Amino acid sequence: MSGECSLSGPEADCIQLAHGGGGRAMARLLESLILPIFDDPELDRRHDGAVFEVAGPLAFTTDAYVVRPLEFPGGDIGSLAVNGTVNDLAMCGAEPRYLSVGLILEEGLPLAVLRRVLVSMRDAARAAGVRLVTGDTKVVDRGKADGLFINTSGVGRVLAPAAIGPARVVSGDVVILSGDIGRHGMAVMAVREHFDFESTIESDCAALAVPVAALFAAGVTVHCLRDLTRGGLASALVEIAEAAVVHIEIEESRIPVRADVGAACELLGLDPLHVANEGRFIAVVPERDAELALRVLRARHITAGAVAVGVVRPAPAGQVFCRGELGVSRVIDMLSGEQLPRIC
């Protein structure tokens, strides 16, 4: 993190080590910046933890966010951190309620950037109907944190009538994809050094709790949910096929990829199936509920592009095949390691 930092005067314009020291500087940071933006009565109590009641079985999740660059078309590390945890809870069949926020700030992080990220988190939380009720702040030396790392944990109330997970996936089930893939990964790539390109691709970063809850409310039997993040659609399908010991077969022509996202992938030699998403999920439902599930999802903005992409079969178990344009199938697997743009 190179950055000009005005150290003169009482108000520095970027984060210094003192801000994480637990003393006056940190108190000032909380009072003047963090708390007013988050604006939550529980947070304002400035207690060591939040106290609340939630009836019924609970879902609990945690995640860390280290995206680079911090800000990208369609979102930033803040909206990612809120929606990512909200979505993990939704994938457990839960209604997200409360989130914790752990901030690891790098010495030298401009306060203006931090402000934008915090506002983004607040807005994402409001849109998702969750509250940010407890948090922590630490500061590390320059060079140790890419600007900012965020950890969020979340608690939600389980809505699903029966436990959802790979164990319930059976042969004959239909795999539904909630919308077009590859936007997030390519939106971030578009602002990465050397690989930058002009585009209107924006991250699909969004909260998925509402459409998921709608599925349960409509009485759709849901066997499994999985949100697509790093590793893309391919990883999600392979994880389910392996955990459930089933075979999944998808049709390439059914998988929606926006033209410009596809073009960006071609340009960099990437496969859309492996590109990251932040506002998409797959639902595995019994065949008899597939029509209803699609109707419910398509009625909602964020899942308007929902489509059935494949089916579950008994064998060959643990594998995912994709039938391509030429009518021949190929194996879909997770990528090993980081996706390096294929250039030559």
Neighbouring C-beta atoms of residue 168, cutoff 10 Å = 16
Q: Kindly give the pairing relationship between strand 281-285 and strand 148-158.
A: unpaired
Please give the residues from 96 up to 135 whose contact with other proteins meets the rule CB under 8 A. none
Place of tokens 């924006």: 202
Q: Which is nearer to other proteins, 57 or 262 (CB)?
A: 262
Place of tokens 């914790």: 100
> What number of chain residues touch other proteins (CB under 8 A)?
41
Stretch that binds other proteins, among 68-76, 199-207, 287-295, 297-305 (CB under 8 A): 199-207
Place of tokens 């998702």: 128
Please give the residues from 235 up to 294 whose contact with other proteins meets the rule CB under 8 A. 258-264, 266-269
Which of residues 137, 166, 195, 307 is near other proteins by CB under 8 A? 195
Say whether residue 331 binds other proteins (CB under 8 A). Answer: yes
Say whether residue 198 binds other proteins (CB under 8 A). Answer: yes
DSSP assignments along 294-321, one per residue: HHHHHTSGGGTT-EEEEEEESSSTT-EE
Work out how close the CB of 209 gets to other proteins at its nearest, in angstroms, rounded to a whole number. 31
Q: Are 258 and 264 in contact (CB under 8 A)?
A: no
Work out how close the CB of 274 gets to other proteins at its nearest, in angstroms, rounded to a whole number. 10
Say whether residue 2 binds other proteins (CB under 8 A). Answer: no
**Distances in Å between the alpha carbon of 104 and those of 122, 196, 322, 337?**
17, 27, 41, 25
Tokens of 151: 């950890």
Q: Which is nearer to other proteins, 157 or 313 (CB)?
A: 313
Work out how close the CB of 277 gets to other proteins at its nearest, in angstroms, rounded to a whole number. 18
Q: Which is nearer to other proteins, 74 or 165 (CB)?
A: 74
Please give the residues from 296 up to 325 whose contact with other proteins meets the rule CB under 8 A. 315-316, 319, 321, 324-325
Q: What is the C-alpha separation between 183 and 233, in angstroms, rounded?
A: 12
Q: Which is nearer to other proteins, 55 or 343 (CB)?
A: 343
Tokens of 328: 């021949």
Closest alpha carbon to 296 in 222, 225, 220, 228: 220
What secondary structure letter does DSSP report for 246? -
Stretch that binds other proteins, among 36-44, 47-55, 116-124, 192-200 (CB under 8 A): 192-200
**Residues in the site for other proteins, rule: CB under 8 A?**
190, 194-201, 258-264, 266-269, 315-316, 319, 321, 324-331, 333, 335-337, 340-344
